[in-house]
């Protein structure tokens, strides 16, 4: 008999979690105005709010922390981290930052100015925020296939290179760089193929432009290249990673994802002028160049995490779990962005809660229903997150309305996946009876989803 799949690790330390009663949850969700960001974490049973900083470190990472060198300047831990990054990516210049958005802030302060145009594939919220706050424009050039959740496509995160070419040819002097997000979080944790990265490079070279990878989930991207792209199956993750970064000029990194640390990030590049430019902002914003907002011990853990998570077994265990959850949803007929992405399942709420009008936020309604059902905290990636149009102040209903179930790395077991799927099925089975959603009672002008207050729409 063929042996079944099992995780490539065993568990050495556990953290208790506790289910709650429906009655308790009804009170708690009312108390937080139907916004799950406002829930204290102890009121959550299975937390799928994000895969960012929520992973479990390995014994090797924890033991590396004991070796942290906390010297203000020139800490040994910095060089260990830098050497690991250079070995994996080929980038010789490295600046630590406290997380991914800080890397964006520092690098973009040097590179982005008013009136610029920055093309890319579904810029992450903070990336877009750091572009728009500098009065520049982020142009989304993701392939159109990404917007049809039911369409199967192996690399739904890809850049539409014809559109990219057009955007640059129309703004030849305004494009400071192209940014490619790997994997493409907003489109559903969808990967970008090596071939597509090569095409992006060709377009960049045609116009003499540089390319940045937003690399939060670059290792998961390499896993998909290995398992889905022709000719890549027999290559190691580390070889593929190097091929990917050979096509870029620099990277911003949220180490909270694929380096499996709770906090941390960095900028890396092969260009001295970018390094010199970023240096000027790194020191006042983040700290001296060899710590940039990180403890020595955290840089040690980051270095080990990067090495571990660019090994096939670790990634295979992780993606296998996401795909296991997807297979259960398939069994129950629950629609999500297909195929399953690297770090999360994105349930297509507009196809589930068809009786809830878009003005009453179906994905947010589904998020609340799943919490009420089983204490599971997902996250709306939909009409609330989309904010209002900056000019008309109307809600933006143009994009997808999704419930993201982000799976933390090495944190939950497949039994938790079974609970998540069963809870969703229960909500799905009574979807016809859910006819009303929520209305906004209070909101911030920008990034409203973190603090928005909601109330049930009149019954």
Residue ranges binding ligand F0G (CB under 6 A): 50, 52, 99-101, 124, 126-127, 181, 185, 214, 216, 254, 256, 265
Toward ligand F0G, which CB reaches closer, 58 or 184?
184
Q: CA-to-CA distance for 278 and 108, rounded, in angstroms?
A: 8
CA 367 to chain centre: 18
Token pair for 57:
């470190």
214 is catalytic: yes
Kindly tell me which of 84 and 215 has the beta carbon lying closer to ligand F0G. Answer: 215
Q: Record the tokens describing residue 247, joined without a space.
A: 């096509």
Structure tokens at 279: 């240096």
Q: Which CB atom, from 84 or from 97, has the smaller least distance to ligand F0G?
A: 97
| Residue closer to ligand F0G (CB basis): 222 or 356 | 222
Q: Which residue is nearest to ligand F0G (CB)?
A: 100
Whichever of 69 and 409 has its CB closer to ligand F0G, that residue is 409
Catalytic residue among 33, 79, 125, 271: 125
29 alpha carbon, distance to own chain's centre: 25
Residue 72: active-site member: yes
Please name the residue that has the structure tokens 């995780």: 7
Q: Is 291 exposed, middle or buried (0-12, 13-18, 19+ CB in 10 A)?
A: buried
How many angstroms separate the CA atoms of 251 and 266, rounded? 8
Active site (annotated) includes residue 125: yes
Q: Measured from the CB of residue 214, what is the shortest distance to ligand F0G in angstroms?
A: 5
Whichever of 265 and 378 has its CB closer to ligand F0G, that residue is: 265
Minimum Å distance from CB 442 to ligand F0G? 23
Question: With respect to ligand F0G, which residue has the nearer C-beta, 56 or 356?
Answer: 56
**Cα-based distances in Å from 397 to 25, 117, 128, 193, 389:** 29, 24, 18, 29, 10
> Cβ distance 261 to 301 under 8 Å?
yes
Residue 307: count other Cβ atoms within 10 Å of its Cβ: 17
Contact 165, 172 (CB under 8 A): no
Angle of helix 218-228 versus helix 312-332 axis, rounded to 10: 80
449 is catalytic: yes
CB of 254 to ligand F0G, least distance (A): 3
Contact at 8 Å (CB) between 310 and 241? yes
Q: Give me the catalytic one of 216, 248, 255, 303.
A: 216
CA 382 to chain centroid, in Å, comes to: 15
C-alpha 282/C-alpha 109 separation (Å) is: 10
Catalytic residue among 5, 37, 59, 72: 72
Q: How far is the CB of 259 from ligand F0G (least distance, A)?
A: 10
CA distances for 17 relative to 47, 73, 256, 298, 457, angstroms: 10, 40, 22, 26, 32
Residue 288 Cβ vs ligand F0G, minimum distance, rounded to whole Å: 20
Smallest gap from Cβ 68 to ligand F0G, in A, equals: 20
- Chain length of the chain: 459
Nearest to 381 by CA among 436, 344, 430: 344
Q: Which helix (H) or strand (E) holds 97?
A: strand 93-97
Return d(Cα 230, Cα 196) in angstroms, integer: 13
Catalytic pick among 257, 275, 344, 383 = 257
Q: Give me the least distance between CB of 434 and ligand F0G, in Å please.
A: 26
Q: Are strands 379-381 and 93-97 parallel, antiparallel or unpaired?
A: unpaired
Peptide bond into 339 cis (omega under 30): yes
Query: Least Å distance between CB 170 and ligand F0G?
Result: 26
Q: Which of 261, 329, 316 is nearest to 62 (CA)?
A: 261
Active-site residue, selected from the candidate residues 47, 140, 214, 249: 214
Q: Which is nearer to ligand F0G, 434 or 447 (CB)?
A: 447
- Residue (253 or 374) nearer to ligand F0G, CB: 253
Determine whether 216 is an active site residue: yes
Residues with active-site annotation: 72, 124-125, 214, 216, 257, 449
């Amino acid at each position: 008999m063929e042996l079944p799949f099992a995780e490539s690790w065993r568990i050495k330390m556990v953290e208790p979690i506790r289910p709650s009663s429906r009655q308790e949850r009804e009170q708690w969700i009312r108390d937080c105005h139907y916004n799950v960001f406002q829930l204290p974490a102890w009121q959550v049973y299975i937390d799928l709010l994000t895969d960012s900083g929520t992973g479990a470190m390995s014994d090797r990472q924890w033991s590396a922390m004991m070796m942290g060198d906390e010297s203000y300047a020139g800490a040994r831990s910095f060089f260990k981290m830098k050497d690991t990054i250079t070995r994996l990516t080929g980038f010789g210049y490295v600046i630590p930052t406290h997380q991914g958005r800080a890397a964006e802030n520092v690098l973009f302060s040097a590179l982005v100015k008013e009136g610029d145009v920055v093309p890319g594939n579904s810029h992450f919220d903070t990336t877009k925020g750091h572009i728009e706050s500098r009065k520049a424009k982020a142009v989304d050039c993701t392939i159109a296939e990404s917007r049809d959740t039911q369409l199967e496509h192996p690399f739904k995160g890809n850049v539409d290179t014809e559109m990219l070419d057009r955007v640059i040819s129309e703004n030849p002097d305004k494009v400071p760089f192209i940014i490619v997000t790997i994997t493409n979080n907003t489109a559903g944790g969808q990967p970008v193929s090596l071939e597509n990265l090569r095409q992006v490079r060709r377009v960049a070279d045609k116009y003499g432009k540089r390319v940045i990878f937003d690399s939060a989930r670059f290792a998961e991207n390499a896993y998909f290249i290995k398992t889905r792209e022709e000719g890549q199956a027999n290559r190691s993750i580390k070889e593929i990673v190097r091929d990917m970064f050979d096509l870029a000029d620099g990277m911003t990194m949220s180490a909270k994802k694929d380096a499996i640390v709770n906090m941390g990030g960095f900028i890396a590049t092969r260009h001295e002028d970018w390094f010199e430019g970023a240096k000027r902002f790194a020191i006042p914003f983040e700290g001296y160049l060899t710590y940039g907002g990180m403890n020595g011990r955290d840089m040690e853990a980051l270095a080990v995490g990067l090495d571990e998570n660019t090994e096939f077994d670790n990634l295979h265990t992780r993606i296998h779990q996401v795909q296991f959850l997807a297979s259960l949803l398939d069994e129950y007929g629950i629609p999500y962005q297909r195929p399953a992405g690297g770090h999360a399942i994105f349930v297509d709420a507009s196809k589930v809660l068809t009786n809830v009008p878009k003005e009453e936020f179906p994905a947010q309604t589904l998020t609340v229903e799943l919490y009420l059902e089983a204490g599971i905290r997902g996250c709306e990636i939909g009409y609330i997150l989309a904010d209002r149009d900056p000019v008309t102040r109307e809600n933006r209903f143009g994009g997808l309305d999704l419930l993201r179930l982000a799976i933390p790395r090495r944190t939950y077991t497949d039994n938790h996946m079974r609970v998540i799927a069963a809870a969703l099925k229960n909500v799905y089975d009574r979807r016809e009876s859910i006819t009303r959603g929520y209305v906004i009672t209070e909101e911030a002008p920008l990034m409203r989803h973190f603090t928005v207050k909601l109330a049930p729409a009149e019954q």
